[in-house]
C-alpha cells in the first residue's frame, strides 16, 4: 500500500511557538511521513509530545504565536502555505474530515445534532430526494458513529462527553474528504465503543464494496492517539513521536508484534501496558522549551552511551544510535 501515491506528504514540518520574553518552544521538529490512499497511519506517543500540534498545523489552526517550516502536501496543495480562506472553504471539512480532540468546541452549541448533521450532509453530499433523504442520510451517519438516533434532537450541552465525541465523529464521516484526520477520537469512550469507532474510521478509508476486495476509496486516515490498542487494531503503519520528533516509522504488525519497536521509547511504551510487562518508563519527557542538544529520550533510556549526546537522525526509519535489532523471534527481544 505504501508504494501508492500519497494522499498526504509531510516533509520537514516544524512548529515553534514564540513565548513571552523571546523563549522558543519547539513543539514539532522536522517531521517527515506520507499517508497513502487506503492506508491508516497512526501517530502515537504520550500526551504533550506534539501530536495535536502537528494536526493543528495541517488544519491551519495554530495560534498566532506559532511559526511553521517545511511542507505538507495534500495533492498539489501545501497546507502550510494555504491562506485562511482556502483552509476554511476548501480544506477543513471538504479535503480533510476532522474527528476533533475536543468535540465540545467543534459542535455548534445552539443547534441540535440533527440540524448540524443535516446541514453537513446537504453541504458535502447534496443528496437527491429532498428533506426525507437528508433526514435519512443524517441518521445513517449517526448510526455509523454509534450515535443514538433518539438523541439527535439534543443540543451539544445535553450530551455526555462520549456522546459528543460520537456526534463529532458522525460529522467527520459525512462526505468524501480524501484525508480523515482523527485526533484522539476515542477520548471518553468505553472499550467497546473505542473498537466500534476506530473500526468505522477504518471502514471509511477501506474499499468495502465487492467480494473481499478493498475497493479504492482514495481516502487515507491519519489517526493521532495515545491509545495503543486502538492504533494496533486499525493501523497499517506507525509513526512514533517523542518530544516533538518522529523517532520511528514502522509497519504496525512488526511494531506491535514481532520483532517489536526498534526505538527504546517504543519498547518502553509497549512494556508499560498492563497486558504486557506493566513496567512504566521511568521519569518524564523533557519540557519542549528546554530540549537537550542530543537525544531527548536519553534521561529515560537504558541503552544510553556517550554517542547519545548527539541528535540521532531518522536513518533506517529509527532515530536512535543503538536501536533494538530486527530479530526474527519475539523471545529474542532484549
Ligand atoms: S539515541 Fe541513545 S539515548 Fe536515545 S533512544 Fe537511542 S540509545 Fe537511547
What does each of the 334 residues of the chain score in pLDDT, given as a tens digit? 446 679 999 999 999 999 999 999 999 999 999 999 999 999 999 989 999 999 999 999 999 999 999 999 999 999 999 999 999 999 999 999 999 888 877 899 999 999 999 999 999 987 787 889 999 999 999 999 999 999 999 999 999 988 999 999 999 999 889 999 999 998 888 888 899 899 989 988 886 544 444 446 689 999 999 999 999 999 999 999 999 999 999 999 999 999 999 999 999 999 999 999 999 999 999 999 999 999 999 999 999 999 999 999 987 799 999 999 876 554 444 4
Which has the closest alpha carbon to 268: 236, 304, 292? 304
pLDDT value for 217: 67
Rounded to the nearest whole angstrom, what is the distance from the C-alpha of residue 3 to the centroid of ligand 1? 30
Give the pLDDT confidence score for residue 334 in this predicted structure: 45
Residue 319 CA to ligand 1 centre (angstroms): 8
Q: Which of 321, 323, 324, 325 to mutate to test the pocket of ligand 1 (most atoms within 8 A of CB)?
A: 321
Residue 1 domain-assigned (yes or no): no
First to last CA, the chain: 30
Q: Are residues 186 and 157 in the same domain?
A: no
Looking at residue 207, its pLDDT comes to 61
pLDDT value of residue 16: 97
Q: Quick one: 70 and 138 in the same domain?
A: no
What CATH number is given to the structural domain containing 64? 3.40.50.300
For residue 264, the ligand 1 atom closest to its alpha carbon is 5
For ligand 1, the distance from its centroid to the CA atom of residue 30, given in whole angstroms, is: 18
pLDDT at 226: 92
* pLDDT value of position 172: 92
Give CA–CA dist 82/88, Å, rounded: 10
Q: What is the pLDDT of residue 212?
A: 43
Q: Do 183 and 305 sit in the same domain of this protein?
A: yes
Same domain? For 212 and 64 the reply is yes
| Closest ligand 1 atom number to CA of residue 307 | 2
What residues does ligand 1 touch, defined as CB less than 6 Å away? 264, 295, 297-298, 301, 303-304, 308, 312, 320-322
In a domain, 36, yes or no: yes
What letter does residue 89 receive in the DSSP assignment?
Answer: I
- The pTM (predicted TM-score) of the whole model is 0.91
Whether residue 251 contacts residue 82, with contact meaning beta carbons closer than 8 Å, is answered with: no
Instruction: Report the number of distinct structural domains present in the chain.
Output: 2
Q: Tell me the C-alpha distance between 260 and 270, whole Å.
A: 9
Q: Are residues 181 and 327 in the same domain?
A: yes
Q: Kindly state the cell numbers that stand for 60.
A: 491551519
- 300 CA → ligand 1 middle, Å: 9
pLDDT at 206: 86
CA-proximal residue: ligand 1, atom 6 (nearest): 320
Same domain, 140 and 162: yes
Distance 311 CA to ligand 1 centre (A): 9
Q: Within this chain, do residues 269 and 329 fall inside the same structural domain, yes or no?
A: yes
User: What pLDDT, on the 0 to 100 scale, is given for residue 315?
Assistant: 77
Q: Whose CA is nearest to atom 3 of ligand 1?
A: 298
Asked if residue 165 and residue 22 are part of one domain, the reply reads no
Contact assessment for residue 321 and residue 295, using Cβ atoms and an 8 Å cutoff: yes
Task: Tell which phi-psi region holds residue 139, choosing left (phi > 0), alpha (psi between -120 and 50) or beta.
Answer: alpha
How far is Cα 138 from Cα 41, in angstroms, rounded to an integer? Answer: 28
Residues 62, 127 within the same domain: no
Same domain, 185 and 319: yes
Question: Do 186 and 291 belong together in one domain?
Answer: yes
* Domain encompassing residue 156: 102-176
**Residue 110 and residue 183 in one domain:** no
CA distance 275 to 270: 9
Contact 229, 238 (CB under 8 A): no
CA 77 from chain centre, in angstroms, equals 20
Amino acid at each position: 500500500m505504501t508504494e501508492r501515491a500519497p494522499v498526504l506528504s509531510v516533509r520537514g514540518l516544524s512548529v515553534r511557538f514564540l513565548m513571552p520574553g523571546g523563549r522558543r518552544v519547539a513543539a514539532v521538529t522536522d517531521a517527515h511521513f506520507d499517508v497513502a490512499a487506503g492506508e491508516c497511519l497512526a501517530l502515537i506517543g504520550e500526551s504533550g509530545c506534539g501530536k495535536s500540534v502537528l494536526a493543528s498545523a495541517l488544519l491551519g489552526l495554530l495560534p498566532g504565536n506559532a511559526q511553521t517550516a517545511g511542507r505538507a502536501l495534500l495533492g498539489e496543495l501545501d497546507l502550510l502555505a494555504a491562506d485562511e480562506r482556502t483552509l476554511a472553504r476548501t480544506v477543513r471539512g471538504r479535503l480533510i474530515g476532522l474527528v476533533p480532540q475536543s468535540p465540545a468546541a467543534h459542535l455548534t452549541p445552539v443547534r441540535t445534532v440533527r440540524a448540524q448533521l443535516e446541514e453537513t450532509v446537504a453541504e458535502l453530499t447534496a443528496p437527491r430526494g429532498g428533506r426525507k433523504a437528508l433526514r435519512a442520510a443524517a441518521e445513517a451517519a449517526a448510526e455509523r458513529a454509534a450515535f443514538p438516533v433518539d438523541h439527535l434532537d439534543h443540543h451539544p450541552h445535553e450530551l455526555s462527553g462520549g456522546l459528543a465525541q460520537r456526534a463529532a465523529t458522525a460529522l467527520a464521516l459525512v462526505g468524501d474528504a480524501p484525508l480523515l484526520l482523527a485526533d484522539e477520537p476515542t477520548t471518553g469512550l468505553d472499550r467497546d465503543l473505542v473498537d466500534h469507532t476506530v473500526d468505522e474510521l477504518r471502514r471509511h478509508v477501506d474499499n468495502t464494496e465487492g467480494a473481499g476486495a478493498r475497493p479504492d476509496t482514495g481516502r487515507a486516515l491519519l489517526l493521532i492517539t495515545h491509545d495503543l490498542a486502538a492504533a494496533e487494531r486499525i493501523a497499517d503503519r506507525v509513526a512514533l513521536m517523542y518530544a516533538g520528533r518522529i523517532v520511528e516509522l514502522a509497519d504496525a504488525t512488526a511494531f506491535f508484534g514481532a520483532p517489536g519497536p526498534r526505538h527504546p521509547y517504543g519498547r518502553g511504551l509497549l512494556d508499560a501496558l498492563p497486558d504486557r510487562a506493566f513496567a512504566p518508563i521511568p521519569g518524564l519527557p523533557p519540557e519542549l522549551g528546554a530540549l537537550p542538544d542530543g537525544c531527548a529520550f536519553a534521561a529515560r533510556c537504558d541503552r544510553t552511551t556517550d554517542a547519545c549526546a548527539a541528535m540521532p537522525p531518522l536513518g533506517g526509519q529509527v532515530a536512535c544510535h543503538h536501536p533494538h535489532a530486527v530479530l526474527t523471534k519475539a523471545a529474542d527481544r532484549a
